[in-house]
Amino acid sequence: MKASFISISLVVFLLLSVSILDAQEPNSASPAENNRAESTADVNTVNSVTVAIIDFESQAPGNPDLGRQLGDILTARLSIYDRFQLVERKKLDDLLKEHQLSLAGMVETDQAVKVGKMLGARIMIFGRAFTVDRDLYIVAKIVGTETSQVKGVIAKGKLESNLSDIIDQLVDNLIESLDKWTSELLPKTEKLSDKIQVLKKQLEGKKLPSVAIIIPEVHVNRPVADPAAETEIKKIFREVGFEVIEANKETLEKWAKDYSMADVDVIISGEGFSEFGSRIGGLVSCLARLEVQATERESHRIISSQRSTRRAVDLSETIAAKTALQAAGRELAIKTIEEIAAELEDKEKSESKNK
């Protein structure tokens, strides 16, 4: 009972510490000065921000490597998003060895800021995993190295549950928090852009072609349910504003023969596959290859042709494979939409000249 009380007190302490640090201002600028800095004219937009993830401290029973595994998995998962540039884990390890530093379970913000600046990282993520009774908690701190601002997120699940589910929860919380707080973590004169939101704004008010997306995928020697790349591409097209028409492989084959699918303007087709890479310290690495082509339905003209190879790690081979395919799908969806957007702009310019 005493141990449980101490653990619960630790959770409260960590969350209160983050809240107190959130309230601290990195400088003593007046409200008027801050308002001027945040004005549209003074704010620079950055396309991506460099993030370094340090090994977490772990007190969870049964897995002494969990802290490092969390660092590896979070690095792989966040690398999906184009607005974050993740520092290579090897570069981080080399720096720590060179300066004889050990940052596993690091809790000092000043030390995180120092290491982040040496790495060229503008945001540092670190934290700890521990248990309270039969619950596993993972608490992560997010530190802006230029502002010393600190934010925090937490994920929780049963100790006997699938650890990947708790990590998924942590990743979702981190992404949501980074989207919400990066403007506070970066200097006041900078704002992080999101390519999807940029494309959405660029295409706003335009008549967009309807699309059908059919991208089968296979994981070598294993069946694949709910294709990750196709799902991610559909999600991004919808977010930007496209009408996505559901179709299946048989419908695509029919379209190729007799030009059916009259409601579809553009066919997004391709294929993806993933395979086991390696297993190191309880982590599984998988490699994914994805090829995507956008074709105008009526003319069969190819609008865009893209390919990508991505790698991901996780505790589960299936999740690592899907994460790699999801990363490739996100990358190619954005590239394909950019090319479709360029076509629409060229078409508008041509039509305005002919008027």
Q: CA 187, CA 25: separation in Å to the nearest integer?
A: 11
**Mean pLDDT of the 193-212 span:** 88
**Mean pLDDT of the 150-165 span:** 87
Computed from CA positions of residues 193, 196, 197, 200, in that sequence, does the dihedral angle turn out positive or negative?
positive
Q: Grade residue 339 by pLDDT with cuts at 50, 70 and 90.
A: very high
Least confident of 50-59, 98-107, 109-118: 98-107
Q: CA 209, CA 173: separation in Å to the nearest integer?
A: 34
pLDDT the model gives residue 112 = 73
E strands of the chain, at which residues? 44-46, 49-53, 57-58, 84-86, 123-132, 135-144, 150-158, 190-192, 211-214, 217-219, 266-280, 283-296, 302-314
**Mean pLDDT of the 46-63 span:** 84
pLDDT the model gives residue 28 = 39
pLDDT at residue 110 is higher than 60: yes
Nearest to 295 by CA among 326, 340, 260, 328: 340
Least confident of 65-74, 218-227, 237-246, 340-349: 218-227
Nearest to 321 by CA among 347, 296, 343, 289: 289
Cβ–Cβ contacts within 10 Å for residue 166, how many?
A: 21
Distances (CA, A) of 159 to 21, 72, 127: 30, 20, 18
Q: Which residues contact 224 (CB under 8 A, 6 or more apart)?
A: 217, 218, 321
pLDDT at residue 135 is higher than 60: yes
Q: What phi, psi does 130 have (nearest 5°)?
A: -155, 170
Residue 165 near residue 43, CB atoms below 8 Å = no
pLDDT the model gives residue 42 = 54
Delimit the CATH 3.40.50.10070 region(s) of the chain. Answer: 2-26+36-193, 196-354
Annotation: CATH topology of 2-26+36-193 = Rossmann fold (3.40.50)
Q: CA 99, CA 94: separation in Å to the nearest integer?
A: 9
pLDDT the model gives residue 6 = 43
Q: CA 269, CA 87: separation in Å to the nearest integer?
A: 33
**Mean pLDDT of the 229-241 span:** 93
Dump pLDDT digits (tens) for 261-280: 668 899 999 999 999 988 87
Q: Grade residue 107 by pLDDT with cuts at 50, 70 and 90.
A: low
Cβ–Cβ contacts within 10 Å for residue 147, how many?
A: 19
| Residue 261 DSSP one-character state | -
So what's the architecture of 196-354 in CATH? 3-Layer(aba) Sandwich (3.40)
pLDDT the model gives residue 332 = 94
Beta bridge partners of 139: 128, 154
**Mean pLDDT of the 192-204 span:** 86
**Mean pLDDT of the 173-180 span:** 87
Q: CA 331, CA 351: separation in Å to the nearest integer?
A: 31
Q: Residue 224 has which token pair?
A: 């694949």
DSSP string, 19-32: HHHHT--SS---HH
* Cβ density class 310-324: b for 16+ within 10 Å, e for less: bbbbbbbbbbbbbbb
pLDDT the model gives residue 26 = 40
Dump pLDDT digits (tens) for 293-335: 999 988 889 999 999 999 998 888 888 999 999 999 999 999 9
Alpha helices in 120-190 (DSSP H): 163-185
